[in-house]
Every structure is written in structure tokens, then in C-alpha cells.
Amino acid sequence: MSESTIQYLFSKNRLRVGDTLEINKERLRDSPNVEDGEIDVRESNPNFWRCSITARTKETDEVKWEYDDQHYPPTTLVNRIAARLSDEDYLPSEIGYWTHPRYDGANLWDLRKLD
């Protein structure tokens, strides 16, 4: 079985416990299920758009949503966020919705492809 993106980024020290990731709002706007005007209007709390890497992440691949302090797989969390913004609850399961500020907002797929 291949290594998950989260585990790979840990092994390359591109993710560390304590890092904060942010949802790519522009990419979310491109989703067919999310209306553009809804993104900033419905959720102005900055923690809604963030998750953090915890010690638990290393073991389970789950991130902590800063909005509710619960742990979720990153793709499940994208779907939770999308569900809050629209009547639909499906987005393609892809980790590329998460960006890393320490790498100038590069998404996690791009960080994996650096090698």
C-alpha cells in the first residue's frame, strides 16, 4: 500500500505537529456545489477555514478543525465545510483543497510532488 500524502509529507518534514493548514477558498469557489457569494458571507470566522496538524495526525492522518476542535480526515473535513456552505455535501475527495502557509500557500499535492 502506498504512503498517504499526510504521512509522506511528515517523512519529508514538510508537515510538522503544530502546523496550520488553510482551505483554498478559490478552489472551493470552483466547486459546482458551492455558490461563490456564499463563501465569505456564511462563515466569517477565520477558524472555519483552518485545520491543524497534531500528534494524532501522525498516527491517524486526521487533522483538527480549528472551528470545532474535532479531528477529521482532511478530505472529510473539506466535505463538511462544503456542506455548511451549500445544500450539497459532496466535493471530489482530494487533499489538494488544503494549502500550507509556510510554503506560500502551496497545496498538499504540490508539496508531495516537490521531489
46 occurs within a structural domain: yes
Residue 114 maps to a domain: no
45-76 pLDDT, tens digit per residue, is 889 999 999 988 888 889 999 999 999 998 88
Rounded CA separation 112/77 (Å): 20
Does residue 66 form part of some domain? yes
Would you list the DSSP string of 38-76? Answer: HHHHH---GGGGEEE--HHHHHH--EEETTT--EE-HHH
Cell of 84: 455548511
Q: Name the strand (E) or helix (H) holding 28.
A: helix 25-29
Q: What is the pLDDT of residue 101?
A: 93
Residue 115, domain member (yes or no)? no
Considering its fold, how many domains does the chain have in total?
A: 1
User: What is the span of the domain harbouring residue 29?
Assistant: 5-109
pLDDT of residue 97: 86
69, 68, 75, 57: which is closest to 14 by C-alpha? 57
- Per residue in 100-111, pLDDT tens? 999 999 999 999
Amino acid 67: pLDDT: 94
